Structure 1
Amino acid sequence: MAGVAGGVVFGVAMGLVGTLPSVAQIVRSDSPAVGFVLHMAIASFLGAGFGVLVSHQRVRVGETLLWGLLYGVFWWFLGAQTLLPILAGRALAWDLAGAGRVFPSLIGHLFYGGVTAVVFVALRRGAVAPPRPRLGTLARGAAAGVIAAGVLYLVADVMAGAELNRLAVIGVLVGAGYPALFGTRSERSGPALIRGAVYGFLIWVLDLTLLPVLDGGSPSWSRDAAAASVPDLPPSVLLGAGVAVVFGWLGGLSRLLFADDVRAVHREAPGGWGLRALGHGALAGLAGGVLFTAVLAAVGALPRVAQIMGSAATGTGLVLNLLIALVIGVSYAVLFRRCSFDVISGIGWGACYGFFWWMLGPLTLLPALTGATPRFDPATIAVNFPALVGHLAYGAALGGTYYLLEARANPWWLTRNQAESERVLALRDQTLGSAPALWGLTVLIALTVPLLVTS
């Protein structure tokens, strides 16, 4: 039933765009009626598959929505780009040009997966009904949105030229929407940052859809229209990440000031776990920095890094890049401590963090530190694409190495069996949540970049 609802939305939206795929070609027919019936049958079948996939997951709107979005993307790869051409007797086009031709279908599959997930949660018995956000929670989200938008405007200048009143409205809407969608369940700042980055990507997709419709047109789902909106993608991702982190910090501040929860008391001296975590983060950052430096050296980008110090020497860029890698590794230890429970989860969180730093570093802070204005046009993003590869490799090495170092330092008060039991329970909680979906969706955003900036 949820798949049928998603299929209706998918079909109507693709019809508005004018690129509704003719699935009737599968049965060698050109009848619109046959195509509609076959489309709805496929949508229902895929909805049943989604139900099987998430049958053991925690049924919450925000987390199930992320799984639905990832499910839709999976079927865009397997369906629109693979099975549909094969069944219709056409050759496969697994290249950027072929993916660009079916880019509207990617947005459509995102909507299919999202609607299917939301309807599934609404129909399923025993689903955990999300508590209605209180006025104070929405106000905290709005405040987080205004703070995050203000920081981006004043510090990074990524929203230069935006009117302050319009910027405040955007911050309020995006900030209040975050707790309305994901609730108020507390989590560490690292996972919240990644969740917020994906939330920012969804905001960008909604801009491509709703704003043109409100202006009396059709959704801007074509590859060219999406490429024209690429300058809005990095600010949206950074704004979403900032909203999530600030929202969590404001909640932690209120609990610190107005709550007395004995569960929050640390059983180990802060100096003990803090120094050890920072040391592990520094070592893991250096491990990832070696891979990152190799990528930058291969494309000759080290002199650009050296411009931060007013130099153009390759050696200066190498040393400075390793120092930056070390600092980012320390920040990873602060944000993601005790968030990885096996090597795969470590690589997942690390790669996501590397992607975030590609948005924040080469595209935003590096131009600002070298005296330039951050620009997010397709040409600038295309030039920085090698740095995206380097940041993903850096993040994967950082996350995996940090987990291996952290796993060797169990708290002294726990026996090995107790530590393993807590690790398994925490891993189960993470897997039943939306962490794997966040990793997959972040990879999707990274794959979307070359698709939109390559002519």
Structure 2
Amino acid sequence: MTDEGTMRAREALGSGALSGLAGGAVFAATMAIQGQLATVASIVHTNNVVAGLAVHMVIATILGAGFGVLMAARRRARAGETVFWGLIYGAFWWFLGPQTLLPLLSGKPVAWDLASAQALLPELMGHLLYGAVTGIAFVVLQQDTDPLWHKPSRNSVLRGLIAGLLFGLALGLPWEGLLAGAGYALLFPAESTGPALVRGTVYGFAWWIFAALTVEPLLFTVTLDWSQPAAAKDAHLLPAYVLLGAGIAVVHTWLGLLGKVLFTDDIRLVRAEAAGKRGLRALGYGALSGIAGGLVFTVVMAIVGEFSLVAQMVGSHSAVVGFVVHMVVAQLLGVSYAVLFRRRSFDLTSGIGWGLSYGFFWWVLGNLTLLPLFTGTPIDWSAAGLAAGFPSLVGHLAYGAALGAVYQRLEARANPWWQARSKAAAERTAARREQVRGAAPAMWVFTVLIALIIPMLVGR
């Protein structure tokens, strides 16, 4: 490692430690409100709250230093991406800490079952908050030495406020929408619609934890309860926040693209064939990929007997009609995937990542929202409704993974578009590839994390 690299690593280590200290302080405050600081003190075989605070802050600082080293290895991760990695880092240490190491150090058996995970849900929320605060603090501390925060224009912030207000009013979350819209503009630079949709989806989930489960209880009741029953009561807000984040991301992107052709790549990029032919081919690939994903999803639908419910969309109860409708919808979603994510899959992993994230979004918008509307049944976003829709979540994730994988293979074999034909185009493509590879994995991993958290919330 060069002297400059060593210096950067040391700076990141120090910034990470201070960031962990900040995240630990916020985490400790939330645990103190819920009377759970003494739990950490069991590591040193006492139940003293002061000892618990001391142990907690030492651990938070050490983990923060580790986070700084990891972020230094990612080479200038942007602000929003750093916050997402902070959330993932916090979730990882929840599993390794309270779920695993704490019982071992306390002389208790390790229990990796659903009941134990639900009992530790307050610690999970605290670890997620710790990770988010640590990530934000790290971005702020690195500004002088290695700026990570992009500087949004006034127009970008205004677009975020407009998007937040529109969807906030539609979903009954006006002030949350305004704050989330402004935050989105501050955290994330401009991106095309597909990646922005995925980013907004996971951003909305983070806002559900921050606003619905944390800030609002503290403001209105001066209490904080992250237990499984309390979180389940607010589970009905989870789809609303997910749709809020996705809507803000998409509208913010669209408002920034006024005067341009929507859903297309920069015309300066190398084109291997005529635009119309390439676009039609992409749509065809999307339809074929949708069929592949739909067939995978069919296995889940057959197990839970959901074909008759889907058939109600066209006024029938026949399972055969339901299968036909299901496959048509699968193709339509495949075409929309091709429109939104064309030239975004650099390899099979990225194809599966984008597809899986897209499948999760359509579970919220499709199964939980549009399907009830089309079948004449009430929308049920309660914990019970989420639990009833969990098999469909598995199916949507499987559908998305198959969709993304097949589309990537079709696109790559027919037109390996990343093989540029000039030095300038190669540089643009390499930069774009590095950008996607830098930001996208955090969103894919966080989408999987959300899917794993949902059973803990609803008790499945």
Candidates 17, 38, 52, aligned match of 2:69: 52
* Partner-residue secondary structure (3-state), 2:291: helix
Q: Which amino acid aligns with 1:191?
A: P
Judge which range, 349-358 or 13-22, deviates more.
13-22
2:83 is aligned to 65
Deviation string 1:16-75 (CA, Å, 9 cap, x unpaired) is 122235223223233334333222221122112111211133243222111111100111
Deviation string 1:141-164 (CA, Å, 9 cap, x unpaired) is 1222233346xx4xxxxx4xx4xx
* Partner-residue secondary structure (3-state), 1:19: coil
Q: CA deviation at 1:220?
A: 3.1
- 1:192 aligned onto 2:196: yes
1:15 is aligned to 32
Candidates 225, 241, 251, aligned match of 1:246: 251
Q: Is the 8 A contact 1:213 1:219 kept in 2?
A: yes
Q: Which amino acid aligns with 1:431?
A: R
Give the share of equivalent positions with the same residue, in percent.
Answer: 52
After TM superposition, the structure 1 = structure 2 runs for residues 186-225 of structure 1, keeping only pairs within 5 Å, are 186-206=190-210, 207-225=212-230
After TM superposition, the structure 1 = structure 2 runs for residues 262-411 of structure 1, keeping only pairs within 5 Å, are 263=268, 268-410=273-415
2:94 is aligned to 76
Q: CA deviation at 1:12?
A: 1.3
* Cα pair distance change 1:191/1:56, threshold 3 Å: same
Q: Distance in 2 between matches of 1:309 and 1:23?
A: 56
* Cα pair distance change 1:345/1:118, threshold 3 Å: same
Candidates 146, 169, 174, aligned match of 1:127: 146
- 1:116 aligned onto 2:134: yes
CA RMSD of aligned residues (A): 2.5
2:157 is aligned to 138
Q: Is the 8 A contact 2:79 2:150 kept in 1?
A: no
Q: Is the 8 A contact 2:87 2:129 kept in 1?
A: yes
Q: Is the 8 A contact 1:60 1:127 kept in 2?
A: no
Q: Which amino acid aligns with 2:209?
A: V
Q: Which amino acid aligns with 2:435?
A: D
Q: Distance in 1 between matches of 2:267 and 2:391?
A: 48
Q: Distance in 1 between matches of 2:149 and 2:285?
A: 37
* Partner-residue secondary structure (3-state), 1:22: helix
* Partner-residue secondary structure (3-state), 2:140: helix
- 1:180 aligned onto 2:198: no
Structure 1 gaps of 5+ residues are 154-158
* Partner-residue secondary structure (3-state), 1:147: helix
Q: Distance in 2 between matches of 1:357 and 1:302?
A: 17
Q: Which amino acid aligns with 2:137?
A: V
Deviation string 1:89-109 (CA, Å, 9 cap, x unpaired) is 111221221111110111110
Judge which range, 172-181 or 423-432, deviates more.
423-432
- The normalised TM-score by structure 1 is 0.89
Structure 2 gaps of 5+ residues are 1-17
Q: CA deviation at 1:132?
A: 4.5
Q: Which amino acid aligns with 1:89?
A: G
Q: CA deviation at 1:88?
A: 1.0
Q: Is the 8 A contact 1:198 1:240 kept in 2?
A: yes
Q: Distance in 1 between matches of 2:335 and 2:294?
A: 12
- 1:86 aligned onto 2:104: yes
Q: Distance in 1 between matches of 2:158 and 2:420?
A: 44
Q: Distance in 1 between matches of 2:42 and 2:417?
A: 65
Q: Distance in 1 between matches of 2:114 and 2:130?
A: 23
State how many pairs are aligned: 436
* Cα pair distance change 1:40/1:277, threshold 3 Å: same
Q: Distance in 1 between matches of 2:284 and 2:340?
A: 14
Q: Distance in 2 between matches of 1:240 and 1:415?
A: 35
Q: Distance in 1 between matches of 2:80 and 2:248?
A: 16
Q: Which amino acid aligns with 1:53?
A: L
* Partner-residue secondary structure (3-state), 1:276: helix
Q: Distance in 2 between matches of 1:134 and 1:198?
A: 23
Q: Which amino acid aligns with 2:208?
A: W
Q: CA deviation at 1:127?
A: 2.2
Deviation string 1:192-233 (CA, Å, 9 cap, x unpaired) is 001101111122112211111112412231211110000100
Q: Distance in 1 between matches of 2:113 and 2:86?
A: 25
Q: Is the 8 A contact 1:148 1:246 kept in 2?
A: no
Q: Is the 8 A contact 2:202 2:446 kept in 1?
A: yes
* Cα pair distance change 1:384/1:414, threshold 3 Å: closer
Q: Distance in 2 between matches of 1:309 and 1:170?
A: 36
* Cα pair distance change 1:14/1:284, threshold 3 Å: same
1:229 is aligned to 234
Judge which range, 423-432 or 403-412, deviates more.
423-432
Q: CA deviation at 1:422?
A: 7.2
* Cα pair distance change 1:320/1:333, threshold 3 Å: same
1:156 is aligned to none
Q: Is the 8 A contact 2:420 2:429 kept in 1?
A: no
Q: Which amino acid aligns with 2:413?
A: R
Q: CA deviation at 1:426?
A: 3.9
Q: Is the 8 A contact 2:37 2:53 kept in 1?
A: no
Q: Distance in 2 between matches of 1:413 and 1:404?
A: 13
Q: Is the 8 A contact 2:355 2:401 kept in 1?
A: yes
